[in-house]
Amino acid sequence: VLELMYNGVDIADPEQIYLRGKLVCGKNVKLDINIIIEGDVVLGDEVTVGANSILKNCTIGRGTAINPFSLVEDATVGDYSFIGPYGRLRPDTKVGDNVQIGNFVEIKNANIASKCKINHHSFVGDADLAENVTIGAGTITCNHDGIGINRTTIEEGAYIGSGCNLVAPLKINANSTIASGSTI
């Protein structure tokens, strides 16, 4: 931890950073208190990691904010995005640039293209989102049918209202609008 500080990483309290792997940091990285880092973690320039977050085997792009109480595991996040607070990126998740992932959002085995917005209290699992997709608060992808796991594909520019259930397998066409409270 001291070596990170000597190399310019801004660490709020070096006694409250738990390094259980290898951490590579760019310039102007800021780490708040009570952060756990496991496995191989790469933080780009100007990344901030909020208090009580856990990073496992992940890469976080330039200018991205991991807000407090978030978990990023076996995932990749692009540049100038934000996660949380209380965000969870599960394994095999890829997040593009300029993506907003709100509080209490969980993403699993998904590809989230650039400029997407996934609002609070949502679950996106086994899904592929093209650029500029908006997912309203409380929306979920229903990816398991009791037998197998299915994928949801949402094409560019689609707008999904709040409180929707997207039952996979499902493809939502480009620039579609799904009304709040819908089950598709």
Whats the size of the chain, residue-wise? 184
Query: Residue 24: how many CB atoms within 10 A of its CB?
Result: 12
Is 121 an annotated catalytic residue? no
144 forms beta bridges with 149
Q: How far, in Å, CA of 179 to CA of 85, rounded?
A: 26
Catalytic residue among 62, 120, 121, 151: 120
Cβ contact 84:70 at 8 Å? yes
**Who contacts 64 (Cβ-Cβ below 8 Å, separation ≥6)?**
44, 47, 48, 77, 78, 79, 80, 81, 82, 83
Q: Could you give the residue numbers annotated as active site?
A: 120
